[in-house]
């Protein structure tokens, strides 16, 4: 399929990247039902590391099987599938070439008391498994944030040199931030901007609330309208180099469909590049998940 004008424009924003990286970015942008539109819906399944198997998969036991997630992403016509090393390895051969994969390179777990993540895979693993991208998480605000950024610097340099895309989860947390501040309007925009400055191609942040989390930023935000989700999203997109970087938003904790669809419409209207939705997808029975994902895709296509 020829590259669309929308995708060609996005690729043009990545002026330093080699043809291999741009080809992999184009592969993600041209995949699935949203292919060619500049919009993305990605399935991430790293929650087993983060929360444990039962908390992640017991609501839908079929999801214990890594093949389930590959097939779900393919059948739903999604843009890509992201997971840690073991999950990708478990289906890399059977599903080779059917959907772009993102190898999640670091992970935390609920048994740890520190706000850090362990690096659990390599760029060589991503190449061996045919991945289009690596994924990485940083925690701006954590005592370990600078170490994470330095780990990312080395992995991103290697990945880009091999023609891979870099997807960065930027989740603020740490001693200065309470739970409310982690998704505050100003903090989400700050986290997204940091991800862009770190050289990410695709940035993942949480949808922002209307709260201000950093007192020092309050005066700056007096002239920025954050009264609706769409307006807050537009500001986060602006923080990603005035829209020159792809920014997608997480689905967060499981929620009702009406609330989820309303949120997705806010993302669309604010100019987000899309959604990366895990638990709200795989914790539902397969048939329900497929209907939900189709509705989300239709929202981004302005059909719902």
Least trusted range by pLDDT, from 65-79, 194-208, 244-258: 244-258
Any idea what DSSP says for residue 222?
Answer: G
Q: Are 101 and 81 in contact (CB under 8 A)?
A: yes
Q: Is the pLDDT of residue 243 over 70?
A: yes
What's the residue count for the chain?
304
In whole angstroms, give the CA distance from residue 283 to residue 130: 27
Q: What is the mean pLDDT of residues 88-93?
A: 98
For 208-224, letters b (16+ CB in 10 Å) and e give bbeebbbeebeeebeeb
Amino acid 253: pLDDT: 67
Q: Which domain holds residue 196?
A: 5-300
In whole angstroms, give the CA distance from residue 22 to residue 30: 12
Catalytic annotation on 39? no
Torsion of CA 34, 35, 39, 45, to 10 degrees: 80
Q: Which is the catalytic residue, given 22, 204, 206, 219?
A: 204
| CATH number of the domain residue 194 falls in | 3.20.20.70
How many domains does one find in the chain? 1
The two structure tokens encoding residue 211: 């709260």
Q: Are 215 and 35 in contact (CB under 8 A)?
A: no
Query: How far is the CA of 236 from the CAs of 34, 262, 274, in angstroms?
Result: 22, 18, 13
Task: Let me know the angle formed at the C-alpha of 104 by 195 and 34, rounded to the nearest 5 degrees.
Answer: 75
Read off φ and ψ for residue 42, nearest 5 degrees.
Answer: -115, 140
Amino acid 254: pLDDT: 62
Q: Is the pLDDT of residue 252 over 70?
A: no
DSSP codes, 13-25? T-TT--HHHHHHH
In whole angstroms, give the CA distance from residue 144 to residue 149: 9
In whole angstroms, give the CA distance from residue 128 to residue 38: 28
pTM of the model: 0.97
Reduced to 3 states (helix: H, G, I; strand: E, B; else coil), residue 103 is strand
111 compared with 221, residue with greater pLDDT: 221
Q: Are 232 and 226 in contact (CB under 8 A)?
A: yes
Segment (H or E) for 167: strand 165-170
The per-residue pLDDT for range 100-135, each reduced to its tens digit, is: 999 999 999 988 888 899 999 999 999 999 999 999
The per-residue pLDDT for range 64-84, each reduced to its tens digit, is: 999 999 999 999 999 999 999
């Amino acid at each position: 399929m020829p590259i669309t004008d929308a995708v060609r424009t996005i690729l043009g924003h990545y002026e330093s990247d080699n043809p291999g990286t741009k080809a992999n970015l184009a592969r993600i942008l041209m995949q699935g039902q949203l292919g060619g539109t500049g919009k993305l819906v990605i399935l991430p399944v790293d929650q087993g590391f983060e929360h444990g198997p039962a908390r992640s998969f017991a609501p839908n036991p079929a999801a214990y099987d890594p093949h389930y997630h590959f097939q779900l992403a393919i059948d739903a016509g999604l843009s890509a599938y992201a997971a840690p090393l073991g999950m990708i390895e478990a289906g890399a051969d059977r599903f080779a070439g059917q959907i772009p994969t993102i190898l999640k390179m670091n992970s935390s777990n609920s048994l740890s008391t520190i706000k850090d993540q362990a690096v659990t895979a390599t760029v060589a693993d991503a190449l061996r498994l045919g991945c289009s991208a690596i994924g990485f998480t940083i925690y701006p605000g954590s005592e370990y944030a600078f170490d994470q950024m330095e780990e990312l610097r080395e992995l991103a340099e290697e990945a880009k040199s091999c023609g891979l895309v870099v997807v960065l989860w930027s989740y603020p947390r740490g001693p200065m931030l309470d739970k409310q501040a982690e998704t505050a309007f100003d903090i989400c925009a700050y986290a997204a901007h940091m991800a862009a400055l770190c050289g990410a191609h695709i940035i993942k942040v949480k949808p922002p609330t209307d709260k201000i989390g950093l007192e020092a930023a309050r005066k700056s935000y007096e002239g920025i309208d954050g009264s609706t989700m769409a307006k807050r999203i537009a500001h986060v997109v602006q923080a990603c180099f005035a829209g020159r970087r792809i920014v997608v938003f997480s689905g967060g904790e499981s929620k009702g469909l009406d609330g989820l669809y309303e949120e997705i419409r806010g993302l669309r209207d604010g100019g987000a590049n899309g959604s990366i939705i895990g638990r709200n997808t795989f914790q539902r029975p397969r048939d329900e998940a497929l209907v939900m994902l189709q509705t989300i895709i239709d929202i981004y296509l302005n059909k719902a």
